[in-house]
Chain A
Amino acid sequence: MTNTSPATGADTDKVQAASRSATWANLAEFWYYFSRNKGAVIGLCIFVALVTVAVLSPWISPHDPDMQYRDSFLVPPFWEEGGKSTFILGTDAVGRDILSRLMHGAAYSLWIGVIVVTISLCVGIVTGLISGYAGGTVDTFIMRLMDIILAFPALLLALVLVAILGPGLTNAMIAIALVLQPHFVRLTRAAVLAERSRDYVVAARLAGAGHFRLMFKTILPNCLAPLIVQATLSFSNAILDAAALGFLGMGAQPPASEWGTMLAEAREFILSAWWVVTFPGLAILITVIAINLVGDGLRDALDPKLKRS
């Protein structure tokens, strides 16, 4: 029976309006602290530019990334002697335009970051919530499981997992997500342990909230700040790990224009054609720096302790 009197309805509207304005105020406060960090704003601009390039690459890249120009093997960048203006950053050993491959590769890297963070965040949050909320044997079991994953160097574990699942970008993403998720589990659990005895959680429980509601609607929204910061760091780690796997021949497979795979293909030319090695690595470095800068800004904006200082 949900009879709502007009007075109660008006109260609900007021509460909803107040909640909306509080959300806007929080966002404004967040942007105020985030924008005070100039590095973070620069990082965000670079990241937005990368996303734009990745999305528009099919239309704005000068060449097809897989097209092999048989008359243009290892052409240097246009400013070097022997360079051609049609290949601004030069071509690789089979005559493919490096700039076009880098533009298309941006989509791979950002896609890897999104998928890996989504998987590890979702699995990590659910596992961490269960661990922190349930406590006892369940908590001990989950935490020991995380300790086991963390006992292996991340890249080694990812390599073995890819060897089991088979080399390829999808399997590499699954492996990296598995390797990264203990950090989310630990963070969520720690936040849940800190929050679960707070008055608002006890009040929600006394008001009859079920376990599911308590975990996901009452506690989780109050644990999100450290998780958002960790998600940003994991995004850059995912890009680096996927590139490392690609470089070792266990990630994206040729002819994919993934940046790590491009580096792997370029290895034998490092002493004769510097551009085939330099630009893909530079693309990885700039992307990861931009994301880490955003991560630093998010930490500054979301950490109340830093806000006070």
Chain B
Amino acid sequence: MLRFLLGRLGLLIPTFIGVTFVAFTFIRLLPGDPAELLAGERGISPERKAEVMRQLGFDKPYWQQYLDYILGIFQGDLGTSFSSKKPVLDEFMTLFPATAELALCAIILAVCIGIPAGIFAAVKRGSIADQAIMGTALVGYSMPIFWWGLLLIILFSGVLQWTPVSGRISLLYFFPQVTGFMLIDSLLSGEKGAFLSAVRHLILPSIVLATIPLAVIARQTRSAMLEVLGEDYVRTARAKGLAPKSVIGLHALRNALIPVVTTIGLQVGVLLGGAILTETIFSWPGIGKWLFDSISRRDYFVVQGGLLLIAGIVMMVNLIVDVLYGLINPRIRHN
């Protein structure tokens, strides 16, 4: 197992170095330069511009800038945002819980509905229920989520007025952030109605973000279950006279879940990409919206740091999924 883990880590290191290089290079390819951006419409004299570029380290040779950047990463210094004047890492840590809360709710929703739906469709293969579930999954899989979000706003916020249009909690409530997760903090605050307000704000963005992962998980579960249900050991379990529930739950599902776990892990990238759209539609103050706004504003160090941190999260989750996969499937571990 240790060799397997070291092998996976060994693959990760060059990829991480590559990611740092990409993030570093990309922001230097953005049109304009940071000094002009900082000056805004006021303009900047050549002397002052040279001074600003020197302060930001942009006057140094390219390789030296890269080296400084790598050293900064190891010291937790990802630069300072031009717009907020705060360190990028601090901003990220402040906003990340909002995205994590949204992504966690979305993935829980996707798993809790997607896996049972996939199992049911596989067990009832060819039935109307199977076709309905797979048809719905196809629609979910093909959904432009930014449009889906707008439709839900029209229906639930506009027509029915059940949910708010934007934000994480009503402005009526104010309490200190403890965990950054609004659901937990609102409970801890003890303010009456705060938790309900947080739930009402979270529900539509979670549904929107969960749509594609839910469809993918349902399709993958059905396909994995169908494969497993045709295996000899399932036939043997049935022949022994085991109850259908225990054949499906104990024998089939445990094996079918192996590829589903990988699929769930792969959804992290989808969730973080989808967070950009979802957070923009619902004005959700998370890292997706923060990054999109920073790209639009050309906030160099935020884009550079944000790219690195998000790629780092995706890589870490992929590593965890790989290790989990190795743990539950010895054939992978020994290859």
Contact = CB atoms under 8 A, between A and B. Distances in A.
A45 interface: no
Contact of B150 (A152, A153, A244, A263): A263
User: DSSP majority for the A interface?
Assistant: helix
A230 to B, nearest CB: 15
Nearest to B147: A281
B146 interface: yes
B9 interface: no
Interface string A119-163: 000000000000000000000000011011011111110011101
Given A153-B310, A248-B292, A292-B142, A160 B303 contact: yes
A220 interface: no
A288 interface: yes
Interface stretch (B67-75, B83-91, B265-273): B265-273
Interface stretch (B11-19, B43-51, B240-248): B11-19
Contacts, number: 125
Interface stretch (A27-35, A60-68, A271-279): A271-279
A270 interface: yes
A295 to B, nearest CB: 10
Given A148-B15, A164-B30, A277 B154 contact: yes
Interface string A289-308: 10011001000000000000
B147 A152 contact: no
B138 A293 contact: yes
A262 to B, nearest CB: 10
Contact of A152 (B29, B274, B310): B310
Interface in B133-166: 138-139, 141-144, 146-148, 150-151, 153-154, 157-158
B143 A285 contact: yes
Contacts of A267: 150
B311 interface: yes
B307 interface: yes
B146 A153 contact: no
Given A152-B311, A277-B150, A281-B144, A292 B158 contact: no
Contacts of A296: 138
A118 to B, nearest CB: 22
A190 B199 CA distance: 45
Contacts of B303: 160, 163
B151 A155 contact: no
B26 A164 contact: yes
Interface string A242-261: 01100111000000000010
Interface size of B as a range:
35 or more
A262 B4 CA distance: 50
A170 B135 CA distance: 33
Interface string B255-272: 000000000000001101
A151 B274 CA distance: 15
A154 B14 CA distance: 20
A151 B311 contact: yes
B151 A281 contact: yes
A25 B266 CA distance: 39
A247 B146 contact: yes
B19 to A, nearest CB: 5
B314 interface: yes
Contact of A145 (B18, B144, B151, B230): B18
Contact of B280 (A144, A150, A240, A248): A248
A285 B146 CA distance: 11
A151 B314 contact: yes
B218 interface: no
Nearest to A147: B15
Nearest to B268: A153
B269 A154 contact: yes
A284 interface: yes
A153 B144 contact: no
B142 A285 contact: yes
B150 A156 contact: no
B273 A154 contact: yes
A144 B18 CA distance: 8
A236 interface: yes
Nearest to A259: B144
A164 B158 contact: no
B78 to A, nearest CB: 16
Nearest to A287: B142
B122 interface: no
B15 A155 contact: no
Contacts of B295: 159-160, 163
A284 B148 CA distance: 11
Contact of B272 (A153, A277, A285): A153
Contact of B154 (A164, A270, A293, A309): A270
Contacts of B307: 152, 156, 160
B315 interface: yes
Contact of B144 (A160, A270, A288): A288
B150 A281 contact: yes
A297 to B, nearest CB: 12
A144 to B, nearest CB: 5
Contacts of A148: 15, 18-19, 22
Nearest to B298: A163
Contacts of A156: 272-273, 276, 291, 307, 310
Given A160-B26, A160-B303, A166-B31, A271 B273 contact: no
5 contacts: A151-B315, A154-B269, A271-B157, A274-B154, A289-B138
Given A145-B18, A163-B298, 14 more contacts: A144-B15, A148-B18, A150-B269, A152-B269, A152-B314, A159-B295, A166-B31, A240-B144, A247-B144, A247-B146, A263-B147, A263-B150, A281-B147, A284-B147
